[in-house]
Structures are given as structure tokens and as C-alpha cells.
Structure 1
Amino acid sequence: MTNSFQEKLGQGGYGYVYKGKLRDGQLVAVKLLKNLKGDGEEVINEVASISRTSHVNVVSLLGFCFEGSKRALVHEFMTNGSLEKFIFKSNISEANQQLRWETLYNISLGIAQGLEYLHRGCNARILHFDIKPHNILLDQNYCPKISDFGLAKICPREESTVSMLGARGTAGYIAPELVIRGIGGVSHKSDVYSYGMMVMEMVSGRKNIEVEVDHTSEIYFPHWIHRRLELQEELGLRGITNGEDKGISKKMIIISLWCIQIDPRDRPGMTQVVEMLKGSVEALPIPPQANLVIPHVKSPRSNYRQQLAAAIWCYFNNCMNLSEILS
């Protein structure tokens, strides 16, 4: 299928992805998995999750291998690869041109529609828990598809929260309730947080945490951009050429700021996010700045654990000064 693994498309902590072709001529991406936990839980998880789906913004699983030590997934081939190649300045080359604002908007809308389907459109609700640019694939027309369901969790649609034994996801995109108890329950709103952080990176063209900026105040982009919005200052974004581009970028920023609110109850659901994206930017109120407040509990030991968990989450997300939490 892969002609002895001749053409490598990419790699990650999971293993390698190779380009292949089926007997009928259809191109595929074959993901060979390594360093799996237990009995290959991640493979079973992905097959169980993605086999339940059928949506234009969710990647199609065409087959899998689960034989002995061999673990592989066969997906539809996506011509333009992952989103991260097109949004971060360090990754953009002549081959991967900077995307226009209209294209970025359509990608953000497509991802939102895919997540809305996973949360509300399936017989069982699927929580992804690893939404990030690397896991968004683009076809030849830059239509986005959500991929990599290795950390996904399937739950009944009527359940609003799920129980979790530990945090899931990638540093920088993990919702605080996955680490800090007492903020709120783990639910589909955790994916909303990850989506908001990702859209913020699409807008800025940089990681949300950028240590190589000129001013310390600019290190955490969401706080910096929120302050500019409140003061009605120029946002200083790249590639803004007309009023339409300006409106698109502002809309994406405001929606992403709503999505990364610390309290899950303050975040919109993905259905509301889709409606906001399709609506007018003038109708969108600017949300309050997302600040972490640790709820006090009666037990000093429990409160210490809460503060320690908050410090760990902030360390991995670099979102605020630790002294503000531990004081």
C-alpha cells in the first residue's frame, strides 16, 4: 500500500505517517503507531470514536491494523497536510503560503461545525480532548477536517459532564478544569477552550506563548490582544488589507476570547460559536478577561492542592504570573 513506506508525510509522538495508494487508486495516509500504552488503548479509542462519524469536517477512517505488535490507522489522504504549516511564521515557506483572512475564517468555521457535530450530531457525544493546529488536516480546497481521536472520550449525549482520572491533551490547549478541581466539570466545553486557543493562534500567526517578543506584556497573546480591544487600539495583525479582513480578524478574536473563559459555564457551546461566526461582528460583545480565580475550600490541605494544581496548569500554559496564584 505504501510501496515499502517510501514517502513519509509527517511524524509525532504517536509514530510516523506515510502516503499510500489503495488498489482502486485512492490515496491514503497510513499512520504507524508506536510507544502505545497498555494494550493499544489509543488505537481502539480512535477506531471506536471515528468509526461512529460521518461529517465533511471530520477525517474519514478507511481501515486499521491491530495484529500482534502492529498498530496502524488508514485515513483519507489530505493534500495540504496539517493546519500548523500554514499559520505559524516559522513554518510558512514558499510551498506553504500564508493563508488569506477569508480562508482562515472558513477554516475556523469548518472546525467549529465539525466539533458541533461531534458534540451534538452523533448518537453518542464524542469529546476530542486534543484540538490543536497539528490535528486539523486540510484538503486541496483547504476544507478542514478534525483528526487524531486517540484521546477522545465517548459518552451518552444526555450527560453534561464526564469523569476523568487525569488531564488529557497538549500543553497550551488544555482547559483548566482538566487539571484544577472546583473550577467546573469536564465536558464538551473543554474542547471549546482548546478551539479558542487554536483560533487565537490562527489570528496571530504565532504560538499563544511567545517568549521571543520585545515586551514581557506581549508574551501571552490573549491578554495582550484583549487589552488592545478594550482600548480600541489597532490590533497590528499581519496581512490586513481592507475592511473585510479587519472585520474577520476582530470577529475571530472576540469569539476565541469567549471560548477561553476560565469558568466552563461562561464559554459558548459549539452551536453558539457557529452562530457567532456566521453573524455580525458588531453584535459581538467583548468578553471579560479570562483570569484564574481559585475557589477556597474548608480544608487547608485541599486548598493547597488546588493552588498547586493551578500553578502546574499555569506553568504548562504560561498564561499568568505564578505569584498571582500562590500569593
Structure 2
Amino acid sequence: MAHSAKLVIALLHIFAWSFLDILEISNGTETDIYCLRSIKESLEDPYNNFKYSWNFSNKTEGFICNFVGIECWHPDENKVLNIKLENMGLKGHFPRQIENCTSIMDLDLSGNELTGTIPSDISLLLPFMTSLDLSSNNFAGEIPKSIVNCTYLNVLRLDNNQLTGFIPPEINQLPRLRTFSVANNLLSGPVPVCSDLTIPAQSDATILKLCTFPAESYVNNLGLCGAPLEPCKPSPKKFIVLCKEGFFVGWIVAMVTVVVVMFRNTLILLVKKAITKKNKKLMKAGTRWCSTDERSKNMMMERMVTRMSFIEISEATDNFNTNNVIGMGKIGMMYKAVLPNCWPLAVKRLNNCQSYETQFLSELSALGILRHDNLVPLLGYCNEQNEKLLVYKYILHGNLYDWLHVGEGELNNKILEWPLRTKIAIGVARGLAWLHHKYDFRVVHLNLGSNSILLDTNFEPKISNFGGAKISSSGGLMFMNSNVIDTSNSSFIDSGVWELGFVKKDVYDFGILLLELITRKEPIESNSFSYGFKGSLFDWITYLLSNSSDLYSVIDNSLIGRGFDDEIFELLRIACTCLNPFPSQRPTMLELYNTISTFGERDGITNDYDILMQPEIAIASSSIEINTISTFGERYGITNDSEILMKSEIAIASSSNEIVEVETAQTN
């Protein structure tokens, strides 16, 4: 009897524990379902990746395991193991709801358009994460220090964002970290080194190698230095005065302070005097951008391009009919517009004018005062209430990206022969060389790609999308993309940051563009060519150039065997120099233009040195188009003053870097 009683008690214990396990599993799976539902609701999904795949009406156990981008621990259990949502065009901020997927090990959000900062408490959100990939987004701010508490991390990729500040020095103490990249950001300071805590006393070369990462993990950052990059510049030795008598010490300190202050004030006065003399007119124009008064902004912009009313632009686009959409970017939609005289235009309408105020002003400040054969002509603008519009000349052949890359299921009816590709490369190089070298009002693009190169009727390239550009005069005046003039650092140009951090970033992007022209592959695909190759893209191309059999496998098949092989190989070598991991070792755009322009001579593409040296500030065709638009605006009370139009242009000395002072017309 006693034996039977013990058996019953044992069975009750087993039943109780089994019931508790079922409750725990049920609670865990419900949490994971809530996690995915919250992620879907928090992110903007313009391509409807979630709409049809992430269907929560299904109540079958394990149904979330069939969602796009979701991997489960077990196919019959709603418990998330990995979330991989790469290259889906998702928008929004980092989804904090991810913490409800309590057993997740791998998170990949790369290749999207996510913004904001990386959560400071990321180690609490993802305590057991082994792989985190947030590359190729628009994350800003600093790398959270708490990320060093994610001790299970094997892979951490934060490259191709807009991160600033320092790399947490403890990052090398993550014991399992094997893949790490913060390339193509705005980071500064020394690269973390292995500490004594990281390397045990009995460590060998293998362990030492694991706590250091190659140069390509850090390239294209503003101020990173130290191995494996270029050495950090040693800070000046501190002058230490040791004296027992406090009076003598105080006297020395006081004298040094007086001398330093006097020297500093004298230097500031001299620099300000030089800036005022050289850029008097430019400063007057620039300071007006800082005004918060909308009317003063409009007055300033009217001196650059024609102001148009929202009503006339709306009519020209048929009330922004979706049938007139010709492109879509991060900051807005591009529409084709037709004026009553049948003149075609292209109109960019910003999605949220408040959020993209800086990009709007940056585009105006760059293209509004610059005219060149290889820059897209900006003809007008609209800045009314909650609407911000930019009006361009309509470029017939669209962008280079659409000519090089064909979507899945589409017919490849667009063919670019090699002579046209060299013409495009020459034109882009000429435009960038002019922006970088031949104008005191210097500009760096920072967002160069095939989708920002437009092709006119004769396939002459026009550089566009200056929303992220940075603009500076040689005297140190700087328009960041916030359009605020920074005069606090008069030696900014000479500091090396402008050249290595900004100018050489354009050179690197130009190298990627050359690879696209040669391989007809997107940048992501071009990088995947080197998968498994231990080294940078620079090292990979160097290897290809010495192995012709592998080289032919990556070149566009339509180019091979048509008599251009030698030119293709030479252009690939030039692209290789642009992709050097060390910015100081990359060529300048002027050097690149002089080299590449020789390619087009046998195809009748002239090396027009005058075009490079003498930017066309008032191109006749652009002036005609602007006058056409402004005439159309007269019925809305918008003045058509051609004298103001011409006086608002900036003239350039033909063979020097001096800005000719501009007599800016005064508005009535």
C-alpha cells in the first residue's frame, strides 16, 4: 500500500513538471510571435517583404518559421534562432522589440535604410548574440560601449554607416570575436590594440592575430590611426616645470599663458583678416544661410536659381501623378514635369521637408552656384510651407545604374559599348576633378554611385544627388551638409581631414564605379566576387591582374574579345589604385582624369582641358531653360529679372584658384 502511494506521488510530480514545461514553452513561443509582430509594425517596408510572408493569422505551431528571413530552433516550434532581413529596403530605427526574441543568436539588418543610433543597452537587448550585422545602413552616433558585454559575439559588422566618435577600446577583449568591420564611417582616434588582459602569457601568434583585424576593417574613416592603419601622429611632449618654490612656478606659468594667448589672438586676427579679404562676398552670402527666417532664406536662394510656385509645379506634374514618377531615392520622389510650352523637367519632391532640410539646402548650395558640363543643371526650386521641391533639367537617358543592371525577369535591351563606358568614366572624372581642384569653392560629393550619374542624349555623364555633399573654400569656410558656415577652424583644408577623409572618399567611390563599368555588377555583387579571398578588394584586384584566367571570369562578357581587352585591363589597374586601403596613397581626381582621358582619343572623345579649367557658370542652354521657367512663373507674381540671374553667378579665373569677387544683386 505504501509502495502504491509513493508511485502516485511520483507520477504527480512528473505531471506537474511536464505541465510547467509546457507553460514555459508556450509563453516563450508567444513572446517570439509578439517580437516579430512588433518588428513588422515598427519598420517601414516599401517593398512589401512582410505583407505576404509574415502572416500572423496562422496559429499552427511553428508557422513563423516559414516567414521570410526567419530561422527557428526547431521547425515545429515558434522559437526564433536567427533573423536575417538584409537588403530589403527597410526604413526606421533599430527595432528594440528584438529583446522579446529571447533566444536569438544571429541578427542581420544589413543593406537597408535604417537610421538613428545603435541602442546604448544593446547588450541587454541581445545578451546571447553570436553574429550582429548592421552594415550598409544610415546609423549615426557612437558605437555603444555596452557592446563589449556581448561576450558571445563572433561576428560584428558596423561598416558603411555614419558612426562617429571612438571605437570602444575593450572591443578587442571580446574573446570569441573573429570578424569585425567599421570601415566607411566617420570614426576617429586610435585603433584598439590588444591589451595584456587580452593576450595570455602563454599565447602564441594565432591568439595574437585573433585580437587584431586587417586594415580593411577600418578604412575610410575620418581620423582613425594606428596599426594596421597609418601611425598616429605623436602628441607634442608636455613641458613640465618642477620647482620647489611656488612663486617661481606661478610666474613661469603666467608668462607662458600670456605669450600663448597673445600668439593665439594675433594668429586669429591674421587668419580672420585673410578670410575676410579673400572671401568677403562669399561670407556675406554664406551667413545668410544661417538665418532662421524663411523669407531671408528664399531671398538668398533666389539669387542662385529661379524660385517657382508649388501650384505651377503641381500642374506640370499632373498633381504629382504616380504615372510621372521616374525615380525614387532616400529623401524623395523624382517626377517628370512638362511645362505648357512642352519643355520637360525633372522635379524632386522631398518626402518630409523638415527632416531633409539640410539635404535641400546642401543641394541648392552646391548646384545652385556651380555650372559645369558634367554636373546636372539645377534650374529652380520651391520652398513653400511644408513643400520643398528641386527642379532640374530633364536628362533623357536616365541614370547609369539602370543601363548597367537589369532587374530579375526584365529584358536586357540596354547595351553600353566599351567606348561609351570610357566616355562616361572620363566625364565623371572630369567633373570630380573640377569640383576637387579647380575652384576655390571646393566640393566633395561623398555619395557617388551609378545611380547618381545621369546620361544625356549624347551619353555625356551628369553628376547629381548632392544632398550629402560638403562644401568648403580654400580659406577654411565650410558648408557641411547642415549648411552652417564653420569659421572656427581656418586651417581645416590644410589639416588633412578634408583631403584624406573627404576627397579620397570620392576617389574610392570612383574606383567602385569603374568596377561597375567593367564588370556590370552592382557594388554588393562586386564585393561578393572576392568572397573567400583573404585580403581587401585592393588585394583581390591585384591578384586578378596577375591571373588572366580568373580575370576574364569577372569582366562583362559583352566586352570580351572586341578589341578593348588591353584598355579594360588598364582601367582595372586604375580602379585598383583608387581602392587602396590607405587614403594618402590613392591618386587625385586630376591625376585620374589626365590618365583616363587618353583612353577616349581613338574613339573621338577629346581631352578638353578648357572644360576642366574653365567651369561654365552660365551655360547658354541652362540660362535659356531658366528664363523659360521664370517666364512661366510671372502669372504667379514671380519676377523674371535676367540681370539678377546673371549677376548672381560666380565667375572663376580660368587658370587659378582665386575666386573673382561677385557683385551680388540686391533684391527689391
Q: TM-score, normalised by structure 1?
A: 0.72
Query: Deviation at 1:231?
Result: 3.3
Query: Deviation at 1:117?
Result: 1.4
Residue 197 in structure 1 maps to residue 512 in structure 2: yes
- Judged with a 3 Å threshold, the aligned counterparts in structure 2 of structure 1 residues 191 and 24 are, in CA distance, closer, same or farther, namely same
Residue 105 in structure 1 maps to residue 409 in structure 2: no
Query: For residues 98 and 17 of structure 1, what CA distance do their matches in structure 2 show?
Result: 24
- State how 1:197-276 maps to structure 2 within 5 Å: 197-210=512-525, 216-217=532-533, 223-233=539-549, 235-236=551-552, 237=555, 238-242=557-561, 244-276=563-595
Query: What do the CA deviations read for 1:212-269 (whole angstroms, capped 9, x no partner)?
Result: 7696449986554331202344522222344642123112211111111122211111
- Judged with a 3 Å threshold, the aligned counterparts in structure 2 of structure 1 residues 81 and 99 are, in CA distance, closer, same or farther, namely same
Check whether the contact 2:349–2:390 (CA below 8 A) recurs between aligned residues.
Answer: yes
Match of 1:135 in 2: 452
Query: Deviation at 1:93?
Result: 4.7
- Judged with a 3 Å threshold, the aligned counterparts in structure 2 of structure 1 residues 9 and 243 are, in CA distance, closer, same or farther, namely closer
Query: For residues 326 and 356 of structure 2, what CA distance do their matches in structure 1 show?
Result: 26
SS in 2 for 1:75: strand
Matching residue within 412, 432, 435 for 1:118 = 435
Query: For residues 116 and 214 of structure 1, what CA distance do their matches in structure 2 show?
Result: 30
**130-139 vs 231-240, greater mean Cα deviation:** 231-240
SS in 2 for 1:271: helix
Query: For residues 362 and 588 of structure 2, what CA distance do their matches in structure 1 show?
Result: 24
Query: Deviation at 1:149?
Result: 0.7
**225-234 vs 258-267, greater mean Cα deviation:** 225-234
Q: Quick one: percent identity of the two aligned structures?
A: 27
Higher CA-based Rg: 2
Match of 2:468 in 1: 151
Unaligned runs of 5+ in 2: 1-315, 483-495, 601-668
Query: For residues 85 and 219 of structure 1, what CA distance do their matches in structure 2 show?
Result: 30
Please identify which structure carries the higher helix content: 2
Kindly provide the amino acid, as one letter, of the partner of residue 250 in structure 1. Answer: F
Unaligned runs of 5+ in 1: 167-180, 282-327
Check whether the contact 1:197–1:208 (CA below 8 A) recurs between aligned residues.
Answer: yes
Matching residue within 363, 378, 386 for 1:69 = 386
Query: Deviation at 1:185?
Result: 3.7
Query: For residues 274 and 57 of structure 1, what CA distance do their matches in structure 2 show?
Result: 13
Q: TM-score, normalised by structure 2?
A: 0.37
Query: For residues 198 and 212 of structure 1, what CA distance do their matches in structure 2 show?
Result: 16
Residue 4 in structure 1 maps to residue 308 in structure 2: no
- Judged with a 3 Å threshold, the aligned counterparts in structure 2 of structure 1 residues 104 and 219 are, in CA distance, closer, same or farther, namely farther
SS in 2 for 1:25: coil
- Judged with a 3 Å threshold, the aligned counterparts in structure 2 of structure 1 residues 255 and 92 are, in CA distance, closer, same or farther, namely farther
- Judged with a 3 Å threshold, the aligned counterparts in structure 2 of structure 1 residues 46 and 163 are, in CA distance, closer, same or farther, namely closer
- Judged with a 3 Å threshold, the aligned counterparts in structure 2 of structure 1 residues 189 and 229 are, in CA distance, closer, same or farther, namely same
Query: Deviation at 1:90?
Result: 3.7
SS in 2 for 1:209: helix
Check whether the contact 2:468–2:481 (CA below 8 A) recurs between aligned residues.
Answer: no
Query: Deviation at 1:113?
Result: 0.5
Kindly provide the amino acid, as one letter, of the partner of residue 4 in structure 1. Answer: N
Which 4+ stretches in 1 moved above 3 angstroms? 35-39, 89-96, 161-166, 211-225, 231-234, 241-244
SS in 1 for 2:559: coil
Query: For residues 588 and 523 of structure 2, what CA distance do their matches in structure 1 show?
Result: 22
Match of 1:324 in 2: none
- Judged with a 3 Å threshold, the aligned counterparts in structure 2 of structure 1 residues 108 and 151 are, in CA distance, closer, same or farther, namely same
Kindly provide the amino acid, as one letter, of the partner of residue 17 in structure 1. Answer: M
- Judged with a 3 Å threshold, the aligned counterparts in structure 2 of structure 1 residues 158 and 93 are, in CA distance, closer, same or farther, namely farther
The structure whose RCO (Cα within 8 Å, separation 6+) is larger is 1
Query: Deviation at 1:65?
Result: 0.9
Query: Deviation at 1:35?
Result: 3.3
SS in 1 for 2:581: coil
Query: For residues 332 and 396 of structure 2, what CA distance do their matches in structure 1 show?
Result: 20
**220-229 vs 110-119, greater mean Cα deviation:** 220-229
Check whether the contact 1:29–1:77 (CA below 8 A) recurs between aligned residues.
Answer: yes
SS in 2 for 1:65: strand
Check whether the contact 1:208–1:220 (CA below 8 A) recurs between aligned residues.
Answer: no
Kindly provide the amino acid, as one letter, of the partner of residue 112 in structure 1. Answer: A
Check whether the contact 1:261–1:267 (CA below 8 A) recurs between aligned residues.
Answer: yes
Query: Deviation at 1:88?
Result: 2.4
Check whether the contact 2:350–2:356 (CA below 8 A) recurs between aligned residues.
Answer: no
Match of 2:502 in 1: 187
Check whether the contact 2:469–2:480 (CA below 8 A) recurs between aligned residues.
Answer: no
- Judged with a 3 Å threshold, the aligned counterparts in structure 2 of structure 1 residues 218 and 89 are, in CA distance, closer, same or farther, namely farther
Query: For residues 27 and 218 of structure 1, what CA distance do their matches in structure 2 show?
Result: 50
Query: Deviation at 1:32?
Result: 0.4
Kindly provide the amino acid, as one letter, of the partner of residue 204 in structure 1. Answer: T
Match of 1:52 in 2: 369
- State how 1:285-324 maps to structure 2 within 5 Å: none
SS in 2 for 1:32: strand
Query: Deviation at 1:201?
Result: 1.6
Kindly provide the amino acid, as one letter, of the partner of residue 19 in structure 1. Answer: K
